């Protein structure tokens, strides 16, 4: 959807919003809010930050963004709340408990204030002062930096401060036991192995670009029990807005859970989602696009989640469900209770209430971010037995796990630039400059393909549905009857072959070099040889000659025309050059009412064009217009019959034309 469209959407909602503040919220407006929020982030500030969903406080509590948003607005907006140091009470009023002020503030500034200020801008541009609830968020960026510094301070200070922490490293620090426990439980292997290699590897990458890079260091820090935390944090500030995470649901589980799922899915898709994974750490374009997708995925996740279950508690529960589901799968992949996953094409239609879908969404959300950690997961997967349903539900598809994993491995470790570019959404537009963040941004901004995280689409999608696909019967192993009645009519070789006449020359003989005519290459010479050949062919082919209309081929066709008719034909063509709006065919049809169109066309190709070509061959060999005067540029017109003006252009725009191919660049001019 275009920006303009989005703006309109917002306009509509703004009104609703202002109503809501007074009228209170209902589920519908909540949904709307969430959707807008999701879209806002996926398009407006896609490049700006990478947020995690659902937003949570450090203690794992979910944050109801909508409520928070309303509460803050009720208190006069962000600035007012800051000034009045009202964040604690905001936290309480939003139902997040006491003394969570700083966490709440951070969540708000991360998730909502951008939206806030953006809406404000919209409001201003539209001169609608009634929407003044949104307070001035000019200082948003600066404020964010401040907050960050604050968080860093807190980080080095105490680990169990109730703040929303930046980066999962801290999360790891807080919940380290859980983390590792979950990790082991789920993947049966230690989640943090050989981070050193990884970090080293990734440090080679451009520092300014992507959070992934930083993430890596963060992971390093994590394994080092937080020693490196500060270093990691500083890395964040270098580039753009730091990668941040409101508290993740049980980080370790999440990590290996997604790993597990992607292990299966990646291969069975082998789509670019899978491929992007290995792109992390290199080229900033890939990374940022990866992030964009991830963020989209997560955004959608949260929005749909929230729509379905507005209550925070519910959400938390579903997260727990998901976790236990993954655990269940890990423990016993064959357990029928685990259920099955439908085909990917149907994923979208499932609500995110489905456990597996949540897993997928989580995987989606963490997939790209964790690209750098992937080798961890990789090691974990290798000892895994996966429930087949994680690959695909198709009956009878016993996918070989080993090879899938091998394939994964390749994806993960084959950090070739080529693969990376191929994995990018726009394969055809490679050659982007790596390392430039701004370019990545514009790139993202320019490609607002409104994909959900589960589904990426090409520029033009293959349409699906009963109106598009052929109906293919199941293969039964028994050959069904193919109609043997209609096999064509044999024309050659003929039933009764006059062997006496069969040509004895070797088959596939070419033209003879010299013919012995008095004037080789003269008009007469060419004409003689053509008719000689013709006579031979006629003799040989017998009836087939007429079957193939060979009697109406070449300049023979003119025998059926009178001199006057030929003259008339030429005159009509000459007096109506194709550059004119009226094309000569219209006149030709009118001029020869007693000749069928097929006859006229036949004459055109067999006599008229051939003669002209013959003339060109002799007189203007450098300027042979092999393709008659149709080459003239200009819109294709429907020549036969009355004109249809209005239908053509609409179609052009909607379906594209094979003729609208952009002019190709040639090395040399023609």
- The residues, any chain, with a CB within 8 Å of residue 593's CB and separated by 6 or more, are none
- Contact flag: residue 409 with other proteins (CB under 8 A): no
CA dihedral sign, ordered 296, 299, 304, 307: negative
- Contact flag: residue 644 with other proteins (CB under 8 A): yes
| CA R_g for the chain | 36
How near is the Cβ of 197 to other proteins at its closest, in Å? 17
Size of the site for other proteins (CB under 8 A): 147
Q: Which two tokens stand for residue 137?
A: 């968020």
Binder of other proteins out of 320, 458, 501, 539 (CB under 8 A)? 458
CB 164 within 8 A of CB 235: no
| 8-state DSSP, 621 | T
Cβ distance to other proteins smaller for residue 437 or 534: 534
Binder of other proteins out of 335, 532, 570, 571 (CB under 8 A)? 532
Binder of other proteins out of 513, 516, 518, 593 (CB under 8 A)? 513
- Contact flag: residue 516 with other proteins (CB under 8 A): no
How near is the Cβ of 132 to other proteins at its closest, in Å? 45
- Contact flag: residue 477 with other proteins (CB under 8 A): yes
- Contact flag: residue 508 with other proteins (CB under 8 A): yes
- Contact flag: residue 563 with other proteins (CB under 8 A): no
- Contact flag: residue 396 with other proteins (CB under 8 A): yes
Binder of other proteins out of 445, 534, 538, 558 (CB under 8 A)? 534
Place of tokens 């091998």: 406
- Contact flag: residue 496 with other proteins (CB under 8 A): no
How near is the Cβ of 517 to other proteins at its closest, in Å? 12
- The residues, any chain, with a CB within 8 Å of residue 126's CB and separated by 6 or more, are 11
Residues within window 569-608 making contact with other proteins, judged by CB under 8 A: 578, 583-585, 597-599, 601-602, 604-606
Binder of other proteins out of 495, 564, 635, 653 (CB under 8 A)? 635
How near is the Cβ of 573 to other proteins at its closest, in Å? 10
At 177, give phi and psi (nearest 5°).
Answer: -60, -50
Cβ distance to other proteins smaller for residue 89 or 606: 606
Spell 101-119 as b/e; 16+ CB within 10 A means b: bbbbbbbbbbbbbbbbbbb
Residues within window 245-284 making contact with other proteins, judged by CB under 8 A: 267-272, 275
| 8-state DSSP, 111 | I
- Contact flag: residue 421 with other proteins (CB under 8 A): yes
Binder of other proteins out of 460, 495, 562, 594 (CB under 8 A)? 460
Residues within window 311-350 making contact with other proteins, judged by CB under 8 A: 343-345
Give whole-number Cα distances, 519 to 91, 479, 522, in Å: 104, 63, 6
d(CA 249, CA 148): 22
d(CA 290, CA 283): 11
Taking the CB of residue 356, how many other CB atoms lie within 10 A of it?
A: 21
At 501, give phi and psi (nearest 5°).
Answer: -95, -10
At 62, give phi and psi (nearest 5°).
Answer: -80, 155
Helices 401-413 and 251-269 meet at what angle, rounded to 10? 100
CB 240 within 8 A of CB 48: yes
Binder of other proteins out of 544, 565, 587, 625 (CB under 8 A)? 544
Cβ distance to other proteins smaller for residue 24 or 488: 488
How near is the Cβ of 52 to other proteins at its closest, in Å? 27
Binder of other proteins out of 331, 385, 410, 582 (CB under 8 A)? 410
- The DSSP bridge partners found for residue 657 are none
Q: Find the part of the chain contacting other proteins (CB under 8 A) among 31-39, 57-65, 155-163, 414-422.
A: 414-422
Taking the CB of residue 659, how many other CB atoms lie within 10 A of it?
A: 8
Cβ distance to other proteins smaller for residue 156 or 531: 531
- Contact flag: residue 497 with other proteins (CB under 8 A): no
Binder of other proteins out of 227, 340, 383, 400 (CB under 8 A)? 400
d(CA 455, CA 462): 13
Binder of other proteins out of 409, 445, 529, 568 (CB under 8 A)? 529
Taking the CB of residue 591, how many other CB atoms lie within 10 A of it?
A: 15
Cβ distance to other proteins smaller for residue 157 or 473: 473
How near is the Cβ of 457 to other proteins at its closest, in Å? 9
Surface-to-core class of residue 44, CB atoms within 10 Å of its CB (0-12 exposed, 13-18 middle, 19+ buried): middle
- Contact flag: residue 517 with other proteins (CB under 8 A): no
CB 40 within 8 A of CB 145: no
Residues within window 51-110 making contact with other proteins, judged by CB under 8 A: none
- Contact flag: residue 433 with other proteins (CB under 8 A): no
Binder of other proteins out of 21, 149, 530, 539 (CB under 8 A)? 530
Cβ distance to other proteins smaller for residue 410 or 567: 410
């Amino acid at each position: 959807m275009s920006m303009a469209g989005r703006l309109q959407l917002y306009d509509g909602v703004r009104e609703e919003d202002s109503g809501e503040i007074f009228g209170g919220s209902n589920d519908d407006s909540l949904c709307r809010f969430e959707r807008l929020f999701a879209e806002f982030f996926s398009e407006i500030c896609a490049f700006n930050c990478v947020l995690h969903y659902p937003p949570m406080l450090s203690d794992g509590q979910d944050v109801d963004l909508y409520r928070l948003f309303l509460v803050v607005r009720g208190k006069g907006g962000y600035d007012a709340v800051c000034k009045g140091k009202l964040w604690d009470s905001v936290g309480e009023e939003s139902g997040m408990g006491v003394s969570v002020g700083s966490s709440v503030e951070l969540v708000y500034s991360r998730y909502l204030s951008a939206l806030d200020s953006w809406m404000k801008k919209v409001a201003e541009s539209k001169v609608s002062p009634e929407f003044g609830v949104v307070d001035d968020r000019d200082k948003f960026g600066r404020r964010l930096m401040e907050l960050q510094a604050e968080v860093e301070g807190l980080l080095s200070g105490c680990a169990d401060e109730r703040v929303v922490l930046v980066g999962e490293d801290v999360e790891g620090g807080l919940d380290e036991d859980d983390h590792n426990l979950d990790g082991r439980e789920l993947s049966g292997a230690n989640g943090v192995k050989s981070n050193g290699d990884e970090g080293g590897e990734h440090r080679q990458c451009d520092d300014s670009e992507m959070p992934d890079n930083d993430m890596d260091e963060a992971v390093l820090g994590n394994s080092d029990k937080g020693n490196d935390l500060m270093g990691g944090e500083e890395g964040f500030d270098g580039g753009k807005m730091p990668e941040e995470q409101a508290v993740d649901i049980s980080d370790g589980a999440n990590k290996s859970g997604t790993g597990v799922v992607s292990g299966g899915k990646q291969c069975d898709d082998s789509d670019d989602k899978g491929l992007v994974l290995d792109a992390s750490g290199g080229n900033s374009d890939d990374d940022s696009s990866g992030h964009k997708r991830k963020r989209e995925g997560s955004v959608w996740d949260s929005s749909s989640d929230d729509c379905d279950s507005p209550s925070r508690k519910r959400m938390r529960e579903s997260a727990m469900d998901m976790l236990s589901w993954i655990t269940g799968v890990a423990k016993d992949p064959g357990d029928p209770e685990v259920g099955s996953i439908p085909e990917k094409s149907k994923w979208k239609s499932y609500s995110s209430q489905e456990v597996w879908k949540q897993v997928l969404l989580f995987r989606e959300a963490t997939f790209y971010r964790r690209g750098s950690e992937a080798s961890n997961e990789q090691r974990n997967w290798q000892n895994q037995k996966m429930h087949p349903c994680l690959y695909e539900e198709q009956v009878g598809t016993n996918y070989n796990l080993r090879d899938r994993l091998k394939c994964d491995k390749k994806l993960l470790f084959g950090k070739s630039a080529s693969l990376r570019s191929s994995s990018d959404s726009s394969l055809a537009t490679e050659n982007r400059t790596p390392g430039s963040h701004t370019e990545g941004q514009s790139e993202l901004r320019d490609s607002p393909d409104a994909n959900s995280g589960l589904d990426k689409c090409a520029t033009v999608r293959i349409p699906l549905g009963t109106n598009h696909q052929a109906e293919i019967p199941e293969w039964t192993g028994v050959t069904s009857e193919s109609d043997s009645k209609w096999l064509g009519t044999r024309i050659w070789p003929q039933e009764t072959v006059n062997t006496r006449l069969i040509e004895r020359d070797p088959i596939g003989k070419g033209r003879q070099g010299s013919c012995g005519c008095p004037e080789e290459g003269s008009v007469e010479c060419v004409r003689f040889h053509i008719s000689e050949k013709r006579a031979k062919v006629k003799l040989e082919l017998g009836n087939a000659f007429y079957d193939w209309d060979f009697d109406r081929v070449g300049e023979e066709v003119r025998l059926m025309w009178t001199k006057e008719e030929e003259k008339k034909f030429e005159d009509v063509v000459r007096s109506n050059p194709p550059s004119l709006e009226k094309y000569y065919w219209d006149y030709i049809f009118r001029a020869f009412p007693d000749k069928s169109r097929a006859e006229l066309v036949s004459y055109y190709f067999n006599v008229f064009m051939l003669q002209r070509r013959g003339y060109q061959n002799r007189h203007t060999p450098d300027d042979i217009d092999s393709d008659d005067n149709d080459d003239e540029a200009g819109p294709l017109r429907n020549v036969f019959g009355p004109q249809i003006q209005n239908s053509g252009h609409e179609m052009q725009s909607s379906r594209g034309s094979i003729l609208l191919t952009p002019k190709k660049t040639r090395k040399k001019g023609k």
